[in-house]
Amino acid sequence: WRPEDSLICADVFGLSMTYGQLGTEYYYTRALRQIGPEKAKYLIPTYPDNLPVVIKDVPVVKIEDGMEEVLSVLKWILNLGGNGLGSNNWVVAPEKSETGSAIISNDPHVPIYPMPTFWYLCQLEGKSFNIIGMMFPGLPAFGAAYNINIAWALTNASIDHIDIFLEKVNPQNPDQYLYKGEWKNFKIRKEEIPIKGGKPFILEIRESIHGPVIDQNILEKNLPVGDADQVFTIKLVDVELGKFLQGYLDMARAKNWDEFQAGLKNMILGPVAWNHIFADKDGNIGYWLSGHCPIRPDQQGTLARKGWTSEQDWAGYIPLNELPHIYNPKQKYIATANNRNFPDSYPYYLGTEYYRDRIARIDEVLRSKQKFSVEDMKKIQLDVTIMPAREIVPIIFSDLSGENDKKIETAIKVLKEWQAQGFKASTDSTGTSVYKLILNSVNSLTFDDELKKQATGASLFGMTSFALNNFIDDPNNPWFDDVNTEKKETRKDIIRAATIQAVKDLEKKFGPDPKNWQWGKLSHSYFYTPMGFLPGAKRHRIGKFSREGASGTVNANEGTFLGPLGWVFVVGPTTRMIVNFADPGHFHFTASTGNSENIKSGRMANLTEDWVKGNYHTLSMNPEEYEKDAMGRLELNP
């Protein structure tokens, strides 16, 4: 293992957090061209004004003259709502804590299926460190941690780190592109890939001033651009990976807010951006959006950019002190869940992928009473309330009223019982099964006729589920019409057909009695070591485990619907943490499988059962506590 391997891990991890922006930008551009603006605009939903933003009442920088008009025009572009994967964190000040000290919580949502757990749980103690928490695998860096003096937690800040540029290629010379009125030569970069037992494979990549060309070499096929003399290129943020990791080391040593900021100054030079929340032993709490955020003169990152002029080129990066941040807010708590993190007056474009449901529930609970305990924090992390159901189920009732159909009557009865239970996605819930299958069919019946026919691929990046939030309250929206029929379908037609199909599917799989339609029979998780994907490696696989929660619940479970197999959840809170500053030296956590993948160790997946049940464990920084249960002692002497 070499230092550069850790740098590669950091870069790849950063790309994994932002790759979706590449897909949404490309497919939105393509959908706009093929479907037209009247329908394509619904693929980018708005972020409701009544939902929380991280920084709401404290503009960080002054808005420039004339920017109000630009922001109002682009508002629907700037805010992407919807369900989906992500992470949660929140912190309460001593005034809202039953312990009289700050309490900070975090549950990053990452791939669930790998074994061992995605995050590496450990304590690091030495001359300048005494810290405990969740480390990035392969990196000398803690994502969320506690060092007695301070603690911090993170969620993806959803910063748009990727742009697509459309380049005009010289028809007479494919190795040239147009920029500011001149034909420039593509930079040709050759990569030599060694092949065991054979000759090295030579890969040639063309690069413009904006980045590499997305062509046959990159994706194994050319992306349609609408013009034979055009190609797409990818623009990524510049990074200084050495400083990025140094920032994490400085944060680990920090003793207060000022020293924590000093670490962020370097940490923002990496390939990923975080919503960092902070707490210290003196009761201070804070938030800082930390990332390398490009300045876009046109204030958008949703559509492909013109590469042949400099008008849409990036103009540097937003300084750290102008990124959204707040310290000791009046409300005495801070929460983020990949939701919008800037006020309307913020002058810079940051991104489009902002989620709504988890933050709505977290904020609702944190406003529900004056003081919270550690047990309350656990309950929030394990909360499985499906917030959108509060609006969508009444719409379903309205559209199904007066229908004389036994299957519809059965669905209405189950959903009314579920409504009375508070729309909880618990494993014994039958309403969740009916609701999720209805929405799954609504999504297909609404979008497949246009998107599959046009082959835009927009559904691959979750754009259709986002879009439903934007017009589900419009019964005559044009998306509900099936373009393959002469009749003009409405939402009522779609919901009726989806409900009948959902009940048919449940009856076929579990029988006619709705009592057997529990959500835990439809939602599962599996775990694999790297060997577990190979045939015959059954000992490297465990599962299936019934899962509660769903896409958009605080206890998030994002998965893939596999028809008769139900939902297989592949992303969620593999590790949860809670730090109570009134209880020094302790780090409360759950983890999906534990740190070991050794099938002969007796410790592989030793935490899975408790993770499924929501039972927490405690890591201690106190030697008299952790040494008594130690497996042994390993000393490495140079």
pLDDT mean over 364-372: 96
Backbone conformation region of residue 207, classed left if phi is above 0, alpha if psi is from -120 to 50, else beta: beta
Task: Please check the confidence at residue 220 and state whether its pLDDT lies above 70.
Answer: no
Task: Please check the confidence at residue 585 and state whether its pLDDT lies above 90.
Answer: yes
**189 beta partners:** 205
- pLDDT at position 69: 29
Task: Please check the confidence at residue 63 and state whether its pLDDT lies above 60.
Answer: no
- pLDDT at position 449: 85
Task: Please check the confidence at residue 422 and state whether its pLDDT lies above 50.
Answer: yes
Nearest to 248 by CA among 271, 233, 265: 265
- pLDDT at position 226: 65
Three-class secondary structure of residue 452 per DSSP = helix
- pLDDT at position 554: 97
**Triad 526, 528, 533: Cα angle to 5°:** 110
The token duo for 399 is 């559209």
Torsion of CA 144, 147, 150, 152, to 10 degrees: 0
Structure confidence by residue, pLDDT tens digits, 492-525:
999 999 999 999 999 999 999 999 999 999 999 9
Structure confidence by residue, pLDDT tens digits, 34-49:
788 788 777 775 666 6
211 within 8 A of 294, measured Cβ to Cβ: no
Task: Please check the confidence at residue 626 and state whether its pLDDT lies above 50.
Answer: yes
CA 450 → CA 4, 457, 485, distances in Å? 46, 11, 12
67-76, 117-126, 513-522, 566-575: segment of lowest average pLDDT: 67-76
CA distance 502 to 508: 10
24-33, 97-106, 352-361: segment of lowest average pLDDT: 24-33
* Strands 541-546 and 333-336, sheet pairing: unpaired
362 within 8 A of 337, measured Cβ to Cβ: yes
Residue 68 pLDDT level (bands cut at 50, 70, 90): very low
Task: Please check the confidence at residue 81 and state whether its pLDDT lies above 70.
Answer: no
Structure confidence by residue, pLDDT tens digits, 424-454:
999 999 999 999 999 999 999 998 888 765 5
Handedness of CA 87, 150, 284, 319 (dihedral sign): negative
**Triad 344, 349, 355: Cα angle to 5°:** 70
Structure confidence by residue, pLDDT tens digits, 408-420:
999 999 999 999 9
pTM (2 decimals)? 0.91
- Report the half-sphere exposure of 275 (CA within 13 A, side-chain side): 28
- pLDDT at position 188: 94
Peptide bond into 544 cis (omega under 30): yes
CA distance 552 to 540: 30
- pLDDT at position 61: 35
The token duo for 215 is 């062509």
**546 beta partners:** 524
pLDDT mean over 613-626: 94
- pLDDT at position 223: 62
Structure confidence by residue, pLDDT tens digits, 145-163:
999 999 999 999 989 999 9
Q: Which residue has the higher pLDDT, 561 or 581?
A: 581
pLDDT mean over 571-595: 95
What share of the chain in percent tops pLDDT 90? 65
554 within 8 A of 88, measured Cβ to Cβ: yes
Residue 575 pLDDT level (bands cut at 50, 70, 90): very high
Residue 33 pLDDT level (bands cut at 50, 70, 90): confident
Task: Please check the confidence at residue 217 and state whether its pLDDT lies above 60.
Answer: no
What share of the chain in percent tops pLDDT 70? 90
- pLDDT at position 467: 82
Task: Please check the confidence at residue 198 and state whether its pLDDT lies above 90.
Answer: yes
CA 534 → CA 8, 115, 117, 531, 538, distances in Å? 26, 14, 19, 6, 9
Backbone conformation region of residue 139, classed left if phi is above 0, alpha if psi is from -120 to 50, else beta: beta
Peptide bond into 116 cis (omega under 30): yes
Average pLDDT, the chain: 88
- Kindly state the DSSP code that residue 178 receives in the 8-state scheme: E
Q: Which residue has the higher pLDDT, 215 or 364?
A: 364
* Strands 274-280 and 187-193, sheet pairing: unpaired
Structure confidence by residue, pLDDT tens digits, 530-554:
899 888 899 999 989 999 999 999 9
411 within 8 A of 495, measured Cβ to Cβ: no
